[in-house]
Structure 1
Amino acid sequence: MTPTLALYLPIVAPLAAAGVAALLGRRTAAWVAVPAAASILAAGLWLATAVTGGRAVASGLLRGDALTTFMLIVIGAVATIACWAGVHHLADEAATGNGTPAAARRYLILVQLFLATMSLAVLADNLGLLWVAVEATTIVTAFLVGHRRSRASVEAAWKYVVLCSVGIGIALLGTVCAYATAVAAGAHGTTALNWTYLAGHTAGLDPDLTRLAMGLLLLGFGTKAGLAPMHAWLPDAHSQAPAPVSALMSGVLLSVAFYAIWRYKAITDAVLGPGYTRGVLLVAALASLAVAALLLIAQQDYKRMLAYSSIEHMGMVALGTATGSRLAITAVLLHVLGHGLGKAVAFCGAGQLLHLSGSSRIVAVRGLAARHPALAGVFGLAVVALLGLPPFSLFASEIGIARAGFTGGTAGATAVAFILVLVAFAALTRNSAGILLGAPDPVPTIDPPATDPRAGSGRPRPAAIAPLAIGLAAAAALGISLGPLGELLDSAAATIVGGH
């Protein structure tokens, strides 16, 4: 594989898989989706050998540097788990009579388009093209959120479309401002929005227009990233989407939106200094952590519980990004990968719970460890990973964010943030303990009557546990040693901190 081929493969492979899904049967197309997702991971790993040390690979409108490559690895790793779990999700839907062949085909096509648009977003060497790609993810995922066509899912889809469209509209205004300041500095045509041009001509960018552009882009892409106060779409959308889609939205889409913030932060900091973006991101981080911590306390729905956990972790990403040091950004990038793996396992495990119980209420699945130990094991370990406990990588990344914050000029905000993290930790632990170890109801609800429209056979498929176990193993391995990813993380952090 050549580096140029590796740039196009993450877009072409999902599009080819979408074509296969349109032509072939559900079972074959579902399995084809797995190597298509794995090809994104393979392309990222291949590019990693070519871009470390500040190098980059470019072709047409696409460009891959260390940050792009790292994001491709995140997308590919989470997508492989989600698409593999999606094979069994569709089989469960078919077994219970809830999934028609047409619905399964539509699901498979939309998921692959979702992967292609996210890959395009991180590969784009142009702020305008990135905006188009992120807007395309909104359109595609709106249909996936409303996939079940129930009243709740359709309502969640509309809420998602309205709020995210407002955010993306604000980001468009920010893009126009960025274009205006680049043109004023002497750029022409589409070059004015190229990352490489903007990063190389920061001395000529107008500070006032740059400040306005960054404020709008932070608000716009922050909406898509699930940051407070524009987070309201996230719990509904993630709780109503099919479990593998929730895994992709939480584990990858939020981080892809944050990728845009990282890119423009490097430019803004070179023009204005780090103080402006630091202040805005600290407010968003603390607001997101407070919202997540408070709403997790009284949460009674396990899919919504995981959604609020995503807001918490995006708050941590915002906190580390606000600190802005090399250590903080490296920890943030590791956090993104660890959160993606942990949340993919947790949401796909939640999908198995929903299939077995027919309910997303916590009281419907109490005593899971006694009833289904294997499923309880992977779900419980995924929660342990999301809590930031060793040996999983979120433990190392949160320690890194804390160290950077206490030594990098944001000690007060970091202290408040970790107090809120402890509140969220306690709430998530209590709710998860109820699922795993709580006394079951007098009438078993984990094996519901056959009249329940979403009830399964009462036993999780052993093969459905395999991708979840692999995801947990990867998260634990990253917590023990970064291995060859260490150099890539360092180069990617330099891209954000140094703006080159």
Structure 2
Amino acid sequence: MTGLLLAAILAPIAASLAALIGGWRRATASATVLSAATVFACGVALGCDVGSGTRFALGGLLRVDALSVTMLIVIGTVATLATWAGVGYIGTELARGHTDARGARTYGVLTPAFLAAMVVAVAANNIGVIWVAIEATTVITAFLVGHRRTRTALEATWKYVVICSVGIAIAFLGTVLLYYAAEHAGAPAAAALNLDALTAHAAQLDSGTARLAGGLLLIGYGAKAGLFPFHTWLADAHSQAPAPVSALMSGVLLSVAVSVLIRIKPIIDAATGTAFMRSGLLVTGLATLVIAALMLTVTSDIKRMLAYSSMENMGLIAIAAAAGTTLAIAALLLHVLAHGIGKTVLFLAGGQLQAAHDSTAIADITAVLRRSRILGVSIAAGVIVLLGLPPFAMFASELSIVRALANARLTWVLATGLLGIAIAFAALARNSGRILLGGATGGSELVPEIVVPKTIAAALTLGVAASIALGVTAGPLAGLFTAAAGIVGASP
């Protein structure tokens, strides 16, 4: 078990060092893809063995349970698709002069380092280590967001750094307060930030201190997850980052931050009662969902559209976390995986549309179904995933979240959330229709074909296949998701 967990961390670090020494070349790019596949394989192997219990490694510094395994699978799945496509993406960037050997090397070094930081964030048993790992993702991705070094990209980078740094500083204050409360509750000083120690002493934590710590942690990690009120960085950063990095940030980094909140919630609940964190998650989640839905109606940029869609889904996930039942948490985790795969496909396809048109404006992108079968089918499938339609898994996850909210008698939240989802549905359907079919009514009109690199086409094909497979055969994962819900103290 320890070996598998260490492999999931060390494989991306090794790939990063290989790129640092050897630069961007086929061998080092392949090493990054292999490291991502290693994370996925380790997650699957650990999932076959972990059951509903918790195991520790490296003297209690790392933990393996159903939630960490689920997140490893999400990270590995999204990263394998994104890094595979990244081989063709960087090749195109070099050929077009949008980057140089130094920029490609930076991408090759930082992308696997980003993966390693996310793996540590979901596998750590110490909230101090989790904080360091989340902060590391901010530092690493800041350089990736500004990859092209245009004025707009650099502005997005600074906005991202400033807002997320404020958020992570707030989370640090919450971490310090939680340590203070745990130590005064009798937890050993050396282990007062360990999740198992915090859980054991949660009922003895001072309720006032725990309430303040929980609020700060919700705001801080909520900023990293793109939740209201520190959500304003998300659309800028995701729209300017290289497409594979946008896929990683949108498809998995946001969910990693939410998983930290899911870990912390039962500790705060035991000290303060369930109402405090539930109310905070409901308000931030609902506000995020509604704001994102409204922004989707006015956006005219394909990558910003996808970013706002991610905001909407993070809002829904936060609402499900607030419900806190086994059904809600299990559905939330299915939603995280389904959204991660679908959003990765769309960002990778969007990157090819940007390369073909030298623009991300929806008005400039027309008749994609006629111009590229692989892009057209991939975008259509990805949009159907996001719309929550069968046979894809987000249909089941959203339906289960609705059931969980109804069972929890959160009627006003359910009604408002469904309205927001309906608005987002209409906006996504309208914009994707323009992208896929716009300008295609004149049958004799000549439109240039879009050529897609083989590695990107392969990643898109695999992503669509994975989305379909998850939609029709998600049953084997149900036990893992249910066990994860039990780990975080979900109610029946």
- 1:248 paired with 2:240, answer no
Q: Deviations over 1:243-296 (max 9, x none)?
A: 000000001110111111001101112222221111111111111111111111
Compute the displacement of 1:460 (Å).
Answer: 1.5
Aligned to 1:15: 13
1:494 aligns to 2:492 (yes or no): no
Matched, 1:485 2:477: yes
In the alignment, the residues of structure 1 paired with residue 421 and residue 202 of structure 2 have an alpha-carbon distance, to the nearest angstrom, of 36
What SS does the corresponding residue of 1:113 show, helix, strand or coil?
A: helix
* CA distance, structure 2, for counterparts of residue 164 and residue 228 of structure 1: 12
1:177 aligned partner, one-letter code: L
2:452 counterpart (435, 442, 460): 460
Which residue number in structure 2 is paired with residue 103 of structure 1?
103
Partners of 1:138 and 1:161 within 8 A in 2? yes
For residues 471 and 104 of structure 2, the distance between their equivalents in structure 1, rounded to whole angstroms, comes to 36
Report if the CA contact (8 A) 1:365-1:445 is conserved: no
Residue aligning to 1:403: 403
1:497 Cα deviation after fit: 2.4
Aligned to 1:185: 185
What is the CA-CA distance between 1:97 and the residue it aligns to?
2.5
Q: Is the 8 A contact 1:357 1:446 kept in 2?
A: no
Conserved? CA contact 1:51–1:57, under 8 Å: no
Distance 1:421 1:331 in 2: 16
Aligned-partner SS, 2:192: helix
SS of the aligned residue for 1:394 comes to helix
Task: Report the counterpart of residue 27 of structure 2 in structure 1.
Answer: 28
CA distance in 2, matches of 1:279, 1:127: 23
Instruction: Check whether the contact 1:356–1:460 (CA below 8 A) recurs between aligned residues.
Output: no
Rounded to whole Å, the distance in 2 between the matches of 1:210 and 1:195 is 14
Distance 1:345 1:260 in 2: 25
Mapped pair 1:56 → 2:55: yes
Deviation digits for residues 377-426 of structure 1 (CA, Å, limit 9, x no counterpart): 11111111111111111111000000000111212211110111000000
- Once the two structures are superposed, the pairs formed by residues 197-208 of structure 1 within 5 Å of their partners are 197-208=197-208
RMSD: 1.6
Q: 1:349 and 1:485 mapped to 2: Cα distance?
A: 27
CA contact under 8 A between 2:88 and 2:454: conserved in structure 1? Answer: no
Q: In structure 2, what is the equivalent of residue 46 of structure 1?
A: 45
User: 2-side partners of 1:57 and 1:205: how far apart?
Assistant: 24
Aligned to 1:476: 468
Counterpart CA distance in 1 for 2:203 and 2:368 is: 59
CA contact (8 A) 2:326 2:490 kept: no
Contact 2:187 2:201 in 1 (8 A): no
Task: Say whether the 8 Å CA contact 1:356–1:446 is kept in structure 2.
Answer: no
**Structure 1 residues 186-195 or 346-355, which shifts more?**
186-195
Partner of 1:86: 86
Q: Structure 1 residue 56: deviation in Å?
A: 2.2
CA drift of 1:46 comes to: 1.1
- After superposition, where does 1:48-447 map in structure 2 within 5 Å? 48-60=47-59, 61-439=61-439, 447=448
Give CA-to-partner distance per residue, 1:89-111, whole Å, 9 cap, x none: 01111222223111111101010
Opposite residue 221 of structure 2, the aligned amino acid is F
Distance 1:97 1:458, change over 3 A: farther
| 2:31 equivalent to 1:4 | no
- In structure 1, C-alpha distance between the alignment counterparts of 2:475 and 2:3, rounded to whole Å: 25
Query: Compared with structure 1, are the counterparts of its residues 366 and 445 closer, same or farther at alpha carbon in structure 2 (3 Å cutoff)?
Result: farther
Partner Cα distance (1:163, 1:402) in 2? 32
Q: Kindly state the Cα deviation for residue 482 of structure 1 after the two structures are TM-superposed.
A: 1.9
Structure 1 Cα separation of the partners of residues 185 and 358 of structure 2: 59
CA contact (8 A) 1:26 1:101 kept: no
Deviation at 1:23, TM superposition (A): 2.3
Greater CA drift, 275-284 or 52-61: 52-61
Cα displacement (A) at 1:446 = 7.4
TM-score w.r.t. length of structure 2: 0.96
1:393 and 1:446 map into 2 onto residues whose CA distance is 34
Deviations 1:151-188 (A, max 9, x none): 00000000000000000000001001100100111123
Q: Across the two proteins, how many residue pairs are aligned to each other?
A: 487
Preserved CA contact (<8 Å) 1:393 1:475 = yes
The two structures have a TM-score, normalised by structure 1, of 0.95
8 Å Cα contact 1:365-1:446 kept in structure 2: no
Gap runs ≥5 in structure 1: 448-456
- Look up the SS of the partner of 1:50 in the other structure: helix
Q: Structure 1 residue 483: deviation in Å?
A: 3.8
2:489 match: secondary structure: helix
**1:9-44 CA deviation, whole Å, 9 max, x = no partner?**
121000100111122242221121111000001111
1:441 deviates by 11
Identify unmatched segments of 5+ residues in structure 2.
none
Inter-partner Cα distance in structure 2 for 1:113 and 1:225: 19
Identity %: 49
> Secondary structure of 1:149's match?
coil
Does the CA contact (< 8 Å) of 1:167 and 1:224 recur in 2? yes
Q: Deviations over 1:339-387 (max 9, x none)?
A: 1101111101101111111100111111111111221111111111111
Note if contact 1:328-1:404 (Cα within 8 Å) is conserved in structure 2.
Answer: yes
Query: Partner letter of residue 419 of structure 1?
Result: L
Q: Which letter does structure 2 place at the counterpart of 1:270? A: A
Q: Which moved more, 1:170-179 or 1:98-107?
A: 98-107
Q: Is the 8 A contact 2:301 2:362 kept in 1?
A: yes
Summarize deviations over 1:443-481 as a string: whole Å, max 9, x none.
Answer: x9975xxxxxxxxx9412244211112112212222222
Shift of 1:485: 1.7
Q: What SS class does the counterpart of residue 63 from structure 1 fall into?
A: strand
Amino acid of the residue matched to residue 464 of structure 2?
L
Distance in 2 between the 1:494 and 1:270 partners? Answer: 15
